[in-house]
């Protein structure tokens, strides 16, 4: 069992990188060109709240869902690690992954008056990758303290998501595309390492690898 401090760091880093509010900035600006800063802030707030709700629901019900379908933890670790690795590889190439959003979803968002719930919260922020990460982390939350830390990190990441989008809503002219790409690549590298570790954990438990 991972100690509480290590788990707190792992869960926060995993969630922040996979939710990726920084990577959402270009799409957020593209979908709200005619909105006022106040309208953008309202959308950012609603998207962050919905993201928190979805990820908390995944924390509460994810393991039960796996049991219902008879999916073992090693199998989900390997499959989930592959999903996260695909997201990470797209981040390393400085592009939004289709696991989080398709071109059709982004185009639909541009034509909508309010993009807070869809496509921002679902699937851009709380998409399959983020839900997978929460379920994987919940499997490692062996004690009540670990579960509380994970729930707290979901809240913290949701709050940071709002703060990032709030800043962008007000100071969009200060955003540097080059800085966004550099940050995205660094976060992608971190996510790739986390994803590979999940895969290795799953393979070790199943006996394909030995520690």
In a domain, 65, yes or no: yes
Which residue range is the domain that position 177 belongs to? 4-206
> Is pLDDT above 90 for 133?
yes
Tens-digit pLDDT profile for residues 16-38? 999 999 988 988 988 888 889 99
In a domain, 58, yes or no: yes
> Is pLDDT above 60 for 9?
yes
> Are the C-beta atoms of 150 and 6 separated by less than 8 Å?
no
> Using CA atoms in the order 174, 105, 188, 21, what is the torsion angle rounded to 10 degrees?
40
In a domain, 66, yes or no: yes
Min mean pLDDT across 99-108, 187-196, 197-206 is at 99-108
Count: domains in the chain: 1
Determine the Cα–Cα distance for residues 184 and 130; give it in Å rounded to an integer.
16
In a domain, 211, yes or no: no
As given in the structure block, the two tokens for residue 131 are 């839900």
Arithmetic mean of pLDDT over the chain: 87
Determine the Cα–Cα distance for residues 102 and 131; give it in Å rounded to an integer.
17
> Is pLDDT above 80 for 207?
no
The confidence score (pLDDT) of residue 110 equals: 57
């Amino acid at each position: 069992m991972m100690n509480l401090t290590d788990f707190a760091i792992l869960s926060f880093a995993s969630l922040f990188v996979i939710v990726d509010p920084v990577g959402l900035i270009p799409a957020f600006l593209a979908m709200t060109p005619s909105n006022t800063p106040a309208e953008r802030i309202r959308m950012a707030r609603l998207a962050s709240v919905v993201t928190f709700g979805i990820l908390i629901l995944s924390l509460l019900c994810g393991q039960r869902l796996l049991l219902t379908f008879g999916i073992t933890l090693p199998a989900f670790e390997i499959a989930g690690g592959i999903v996260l690795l695909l997201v990470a590889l797209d981040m390393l190439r400085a592009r939004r992954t289709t696991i989080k959003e398709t071109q059709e979803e982004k185009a639909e968002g541009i034509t909508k008056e309010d993009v807070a719930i869809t496509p921002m919260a679902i699937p851009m922020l709380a998409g399959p990758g983020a839900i997978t990460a929460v379920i994987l982390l919940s499997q490692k939350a062996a004690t009540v303290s670990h579960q509380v830390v994970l729930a707290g990190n979901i809240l913290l990441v949701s709050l940071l998501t709002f703060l990032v989008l709030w800043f962008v809503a007000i100071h969009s002219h200060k955003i540097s595309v080059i800085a966004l790409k550099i940050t995205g690549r660094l976060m992608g590298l971190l996510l790739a390492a986390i994803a590979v570790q999940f895969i290795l954990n799953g393979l070790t438990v199943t006996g394909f690898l030995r520690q």
